[in-house]
Amino acid sequence: MTFRAQWDTFWGNSDFPMKTLFIVLSAFLAARVFPADYVQTLEVEYPDAASARAASVEPAKLPGGAVAAFSSRWDDTTYAHSKMADVFKNAGMKATFMLTKADEKFCNTCARKILGCGFAVGSHTITHRLLPEILPNEAFRETLAQRIMLESALDVPVVAFALPGYAADHPFYADAPRLVGECIARSGYQVQAALWSDNDKKYSLPEGTLLSSHLFNINDRDPKEALFEKKVSAALAAQGRDGSPHMSLGVHSWQSGAGMAELERILKKHRRADFWYCTQNEYAAYARQLEGLKISPARASGNMARFELSRVSARHIGDDVALEVRLSGTPARVRLDGVEIFPSESGLYRLPHRADMLSPRRIAAVENSGNSPDFSESPEKFPEISGGLHADMGKGKISLVIKNSGSEPLENCGVVFRLPPYFSEGAKSFDFPKLEAGGVERIEFNLPAKGNFKEAEAGDFYFAAQFDFLRGGSAGRIYFASVLEGGEAMLPRPRDAAVFAGPVDGRLVSDSAMAEISAPGAALKNFGGSPEHKWLPCRRDKGARPFQIAPFSGDPAWAKAASKNRYSPKFSRIVALDFKTRKKNFDVFADFKNVKSLWLNGKKLETPKTGSRLSASGNAGANRIAVEYAQSFWTTISTPLSVSESGDPFDSAEFSRPASAGGAAR
């Protein structure tokens, strides 16, 4: 039975107290190109019938006939963005601000100012953790939940994404880029400006899934005009090679007052009339419009030519930016859906979306934090609409119930289900015309098969259903989310068992000290009495991959003592771990470019300068490893370490925490 037949069956059967729609999941794959979902009529009146018969419509590749789209990205949640917004407003350009978790005060002040300037916000994940270093479920929640939080807090679509630390790769896990890309795509983002200019290739996504940009930086603290000129020229040259017309300036609002003034001067001086200065939302929305646009051949009657334009509604693509077209000949008069429109200075005609096809004006979210099958709740913004999402992993089904208790129908309804990377398929959608006043809609379908990402069953599962609708002529959106508690990765692992000391002055890290630290069974002695000289448990992040260790502490005393030398290259972080193996021979996995020295059972091993794998020989039984790490920024936050007899870092040895001698000092 087709979807239409299923819908008609349930809609027309008055014996059903609620309409239940059972969907075969594979029939609703998320399309790469958004399908056209409404039609507008373009009427072009010419001076003569011959011109009408020869009439044609050509969509502009970029608004205004521009040769390139110029956007910018400014990362993190910081009040310095307010000054950056002033810079771009004064320069007559636009900016997109990629936010991490933002509290109510920030949203109501800085973020509102950003939006009031005509700029956009994008997502930089909730906590800025590097996605390849955390569990697949956690990575998905970081990407999708941040989009939901920003949209519902600010009532604007969020379709631009910035990857924390530009990190898509992992030294142990070749499939990390594909996982990262899946999380981004499944969350509904449309564009990302990164260090590479082809997101689909980087992430092994189907062509056209995630729009890209040529990203460049001209120094976040001391902007350089010569660098700006060089980078813009390079972006235009790259555009000539790959056909991508999008360039982005970034990436941090770290400039001093003088730096902000200099950046504004540079932007004003080099502003070009043939560039389209846009937000990343606008760029994505315009590009997606072009992909889904269909224009019928002209139907001429006398000196009038009529075209039917099948278009993608703005609710799908993140912004209301108008389509622009060039008309053949010299039109005397042009109407869009009966309303006269006029050419711009460039000779192009702007075709705004129909009023009922604009992006959402109000956005809310409801979360079923316990994944209860009986959960139903109304968001404050839409008290007359209630519902709940529930995933039943045992039965392999997911269901969404929506109730309209209001006095008017919800029209032009659509739902996109967004599923975590545990599943082989990630985004499923369908549309239905109306939910009547007092009506209830139940949507249920079989979850897809399990995918092949490692450790995708660990951590909490995050599901969401994006419900879009039209009420009283205004577009709205509600996210119905559900959280299902998942399993823990096998314990104990390095994440849970490692201890560290540091920052430690490199002069204290002698060969004899490291030999003593790495002796199996020996109690660890502190380097001194100060908090940073004592052995402490590595900070445990239950959302991290089990082989990721975090050599820092949340203890305020440690943070204060470590602050002066926390990233000093003259100091080190020392990590120690006990483990057991059945065999004498095994592999040690680490990000060796950040390893100063590695000791096993009292002996120093010769380590590679790059790479991630080292074959070693130890004891069949108890072993201890001690690693001296250089204090690069990301290494002090999270770094991978594992030992495996099978050659697979995911299949690790059994780890345990080394005993400490307490207050003793070496």
Domains of the chain: 68-273 (3.20.20.370), 375-464 (2.60.40), 494-665 (2.60.120)
> Quick count: other Cβ atoms within 10 Å of Cβ 184?
28
**What pLDDT, on a 0 to 100 scale, did the predictor assign at position 199?**
97
* Total residue length of the chain: 666
pLDDT band at 33 (very low <50, low <70, confident <90, very high): low
Give the torsion through C-alpha atoms of 172, 216, 93, 32, to 10 deg. Answer: -40
Category of 188 on φ-ψ map: left (φ > 0), alpha (ψ -120 to 50) or beta: left
Residue 430's pLDDT is what?
A: 84
Please give the average per-residue pLDDT across 197-204, as a whole number: 97
- The predicted model gives 122-144 an average pLDDT of 98
Q: How far are the Cα atoms of 136, 212, 533, 553 from residue 357, in angstroms, in the given order? A: 35, 26, 62, 51
Give the pLDDT confidence score for residue 602 in this predicted structure.
97
Q: With 90 as the cut, is the pLDDT of residue 97 above it?
A: yes
| pLDDT, tens only, 566-617 | 999 999 999 999 999 999 999 999 999 999 999 999 999 999 999 999 999 9
Spatial contact of 567 and 641, defined as CB atoms under 8 Å apart: no
With a cut of 70, say whether residue 662 has pLDDT above it: no
Between 492 and 198, name the one with better pLDDT. Answer: 198
**Straight-line distance from the first to the last Cα atom of the chain, in angstroms, rounded to the nearest whole number:** 76
Q: What is the pLDDT of residues 210-267, one digit of tens each?
A: 999 999 999 999 999 999 999 999 999 999 999 999 999 999 999 999 999 999 999 9
pLDDT > 70? residue 77: yes
CA–CA distance, 666 with 663 (Å, rounded to integer): 10
Q: Write down the pTM of the prediction.
A: 0.93
**Predicted local confidence at residue 316, as pLDDT:** 86
Supply the DSSP string of 68-113, one letter for each residue. EEEEEEEESS-TTHHHHHHHHHHHT---EEEE-S--HHHIIIIIHH
Q: Which pLDDT value is given to residue 666?
A: 53
Per-residue pLDDT, 656: 94
Greatest distance between any 2 Cα atoms in the chain = 98
Q: 12 pLDDT band (50/70/90 cuts)? A: very low
Q: What is the mean pLDDT of residues 331-344?
A: 97
pLDDT more than 70, % of the chain? 94
